[in-house]
Amino acid sequence: MKFIHLSDLHIGKRVNEFSMINDQKYILEQILNIIANEEINAVIVSGDVYDKSIPAVEAVTVFDDFLTELATKDIPTLIISGNHDSPERLGFGSKIMQNNGVHIYSVFDGELHKLKIDDVNFYMLPFVKPIMVRRFYPEVETYEDAVRTIIENTDIDKSQKNVILSHQFITKTGAETMRSDSESVSVGGLDNIDISVFDDFDYTALGHIHRPQSLSEKVRYCGSPLKYSFSEAKYDKTVTIVDADDFSVQTIPLKPLHDMRMIKGSIENILSKEVINAADSDDYLHITLTDKDNIIDAMDKVRSAYPNVMQLEFERDMKGNTKGVYEATGVGTKPDNELFYDFYKLQNGVEIDSEKAELVDSILEEVKEN
């Protein structure tokens, strides 16, 4: 049997004030086609179905259509909540939907729920915080304690095939879990859990991190189906398909309605036919202009060629430079302290004050004396 591993749909998300709803509808239709073509037997969604705890009507409609299509085709769908979902709202109607093969487990009730499909046991762990688990296991302090305790108190028959769905921040000593800007990071960074908590499972279907990556041969983040920040611009999205015979993993690339790209150049270069026609000009873009002079109505100009510019930036602003101050002048003729004042102005955008100037002067004198 084969299952498809999805997570972090974030339906209803807005990226830089652009609604992603049409992009999400488009990508979910593509995923439905993959499910049909690959003869997938079960669908897993490892959390962050919605972007907001109270999703917009259009977001609920998009997900409803997706689930209805799967239920019509008799493909069981397993869903856990992520940190963005409201557990109670996502779980609405879940008992009724079970009869149609839609299994939503979003509110942690003290137990790790199991669902058997063919010869595979799927354990469903909704996103948990220590405080949610402490109700059942008062000794739990950290995120890792929480997940470890839940699994330790579950009877897992290791002679069978076991898969777990989880939406947490999993790390492995000696390797870095690659994050991106579109995930919400918990304050203090104490949410990480060591990969060893999942040692008993043949496959761990993770959600939460948006960049697809395997932490080990059997522990994997499938990533979000769309790029949700420019930090992901370089990394194309995929879906993960797992064959439960041997738990081998296959990825299939996704083609978004609009790609997210970063381009850089002078306005003349950016608006040249060659550059406009080099890729889809409807893509979501971050444009960096390298021009040294001011450009009047720069956003209007670039939008005339690229309607979906999300961010426009001037390279010189990024360096914090004021126009014209790019190189030191008078090296060899100016006294050292004046060169330092110029350097200070270049770095900070303001003149050095007299107190700091005196300090610089005295340090330079001391250096010369020695």
Binding region for Mn ion (CB under 5 A): 8, 48
- Which residue in 329, 271, 321 sits closest to 297, CA to CA? 271
Q: For 190-338, list the strands marked E by DSSP.
A: 192-194, 203-207, 213-216, 219-221, 238-243, 248-253, 260-265, 284-289, 309-314
* Least spacing, CB of residue 10 vs Mn ion, in Å: 6
| CA dihedral for 328, 329, 332, 334, sign (positive or negative) | negative
* Least spacing, CB of residue 119 vs Mn ion, in Å: 31
Task: Closer to Mn ion by CB, 48 or 342: give it.
Answer: 48
Task: Closer to Mn ion by CB, 2 or 179: give it.
Answer: 179
For 71-93, give the DSSP string. Answer: HHTT--EEEE--TTS-HHHHTTT
* Least spacing, CB of residue 231 vs Mn ion, in Å: 14
* Least spacing, CB of residue 184 vs Mn ion, in Å: 7
* Least spacing, CB of residue 84 vs Mn ion, in Å: 6
* Least spacing, CB of residue 224 vs Mn ion, in Å: 6
- Which residue in 119, 144, 118, 117 sits closest to 130, CA to CA? 144
The C-alpha atoms of residue 72 and residue 211 are separated, in whole angstroms, by: 31
Query: Is residue 50 within 8 Å of 11, Cβ to Cβ?
Result: yes
Task: Closer to Mn ion by CB, 49 or 124: give it.
Answer: 49
Task: Closer to Mn ion by CB, 9 or 302: give it.
Answer: 9
Phi then psi for residue 341, to 5 deg, are -60, -40
Task: Closer to Mn ion by CB, 56 or 156: give it.
Answer: 56
Looking at the DSSP assignment, which residues form a beta bridge with residue 311? 286
Q: In angstroms, how far is CA 183 from the centroid of its own chain?
A: 5
- Residue 189 CB partners (closer than 8 Å, separation 6+): none
Task: Closer to Mn ion by CB, 48 or 191: give it.
Answer: 48
Element (H, E) at 126: none
The C-alpha atoms of residue 221 and residue 167 are separated, in whole angstroms, by: 9
Task: Closer to Mn ion by CB, 8 or 202: give it.
Answer: 8
Where does 47-142 have alpha helices with state H? 57-72, 87-90, 94-97, 130-134
- Which residue in 79, 110, 119 sits closest to 247, CA to CA? 119
* Least spacing, CB of residue 209 vs Mn ion, in Å: 8
* Least spacing, CB of residue 183 vs Mn ion, in Å: 5
For 254-270, give the DSSP string. Answer: ---SS-EEEEEE-HHHH
* Least spacing, CB of residue 48 vs Mn ion, in Å: 4
The C-alpha atoms of residue 203 and residue 95 are separated, in whole angstroms, by: 26
* Least spacing, CB of residue 210 vs Mn ion, in Å: 6
Query: Is residue 44 within 8 Å of 4, Cβ to Cβ?
Result: yes
Task: Closer to Mn ion by CB, 48 or 232: give it.
Answer: 48
Task: Closer to Mn ion by CB, 161 or 237: give it.
Answer: 237
Task: Closer to Mn ion by CB, 56 or 312: give it.
Answer: 56
Using CB positions, name the residue nearest to Mn ion.
48
